[in-house]
Amino acid sequence: MPSGHALARHRQLTLEQLADQPIILTGRDSSVREQVDTLFDETRLTLNAGMEANYMSTVLALVRQGLGISVLPESAADSLEGLKRISIDHPGVNREIGLISRSGMGLSPAAQRCFELLNKALPDTPPR
């Protein structure tokens, strides 16, 4: 959100606090958009869709212009100049990731090390 936004003083926000704000959304084919829509549907909150843009850079530019706020993944944090990133306090605001390997093939040493580091960092996640 813009650094000067009224909610920017918070360290964490709830979906209820976002519900009355105009939200700049990613395009309908975006997994981020799908997750945002699902979160608001599941909590029975009304999503105040301000605008929609297909590219994250466009979404961020619209937010910089003060046209609304946005809900984006942490990967968007690389280009937050003039904006403030605030965490959302809701259990559904997480994204599942996975390490996929070819069936019957062992992992390369680098992939095996990555797998070990992920298991160490995320000990409560069961392997599938």
Are both 67 and 12 inside the same structural domain?
yes
From the first residue on, what is the mean pLDDT of each consecutive set of 10 residues in the chain (128 residues)? 92 91 92 90 91 92 93 77 86 68 86 87 65
Are both 27 and 63 inside the same structural domain?
yes
Report the relative pairing of strands 49-53 and 23-26 from DSSP bridges: parallel
Torsion of CA 15, 18, 19, 24, to 10 degrees: -120
Does residue 63 form part of some domain?
yes
Per-residue model confidence (pLDDT) at position 128: 55
- Tally of domains in the chain: 2
Per-residue model confidence (pLDDT) at position 79: 73
Does residue 58 form part of some domain?
yes
Per-residue model confidence (pLDDT) at position 65: 92
Which residue range forms the structural domain that includes residue 122? 97-128
Does residue 70 form part of some domain?
yes
Q: Is the pTM of this model over 0.75?
A: no
Does residue 1 form part of some domain?
no
Per-residue model confidence (pLDDT) at position 63: 93
Q: Which residues pair with 69 in a beta bridge?
A: 23
Per-residue model confidence (pLDDT) at position 115: 86
Does residue 13 form part of some domain?
yes
Are both 14 and 51 inside the same structural domain?
yes
Are both 82 and 108 inside the same structural domain?
no
Tell me the C-alpha to C-alpha distance, in Å, between residue 100 and each of 49, 108, 112: 35, 12, 11
Are both 83 and 109 inside the same structural domain?
no
Per-residue model confidence (pLDDT) at position 17: 92
